[in-house]
């Protein structure tokens, strides 16, 4: 039987990837969520941004945090191997 995850948990996983720059591999190792699920949730969240102003604001905030991380510490940004959800 497939695992069921709450919307809050899915959003947390997307935030780990988008805001903190965590790789799919590290999230999978820590939370036991498949790479395919993470990719799917990121894609769903990105599509939701097109129709929901609140979701778009969250996504824009995540992108801003990543840019701040890059400009304040580019070597960390490079090391964690940023991959966009989109």
Each residue's pLDDT tens digit, 30-83: 999 999 999 999 888 877 766 677 777 777 777 787 777 777 765 554 444 444
Top pLDDT among 17 and 56 is at: 17
Q: Is the pLDDT of residue 86 over 70?
A: no
Q: Is the pLDDT of residue 18 over 50?
A: yes
Q: What angle do CA 45, 46, 49 make, to 5 degrees?
A: 90
Residue 68 has a pLDDT of: 78
Other Cβ atoms less than 10 A from the Cβ of 13: the count is: 23
**Tokens 């778009």, residue located:** 56
CA 45 to chain centroid, in Å, comes to 9
Kindly state the average pLDDT of the residues 9-27. Answer: 89
Element holding 9 (H helix, E strand): helix 7-18
Tell me, yes or no, if the pTM score tops 0.75: no
Q: Is the pLDDT of residue 20 over 90?
A: no
């Amino acid at each position: 039987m497939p695992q069921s995850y709450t919307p809050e948990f899915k959003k947390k996983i997307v935030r780990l990837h988008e805001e903190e720059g965590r790789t799919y591999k590290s999230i999978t190792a820590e939370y036991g969520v498949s790479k395919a699920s993470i990719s799917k949730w990121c894609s769903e969240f990105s599509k939701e941004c097109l129709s929901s102003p609140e979701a778009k604001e969250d996504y824009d905030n995540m992108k801003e945090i990543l840019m701040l991380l890059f400009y304040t510490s580019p070597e960390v940004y490079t090391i964690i191997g940023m991959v966009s959800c989109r």
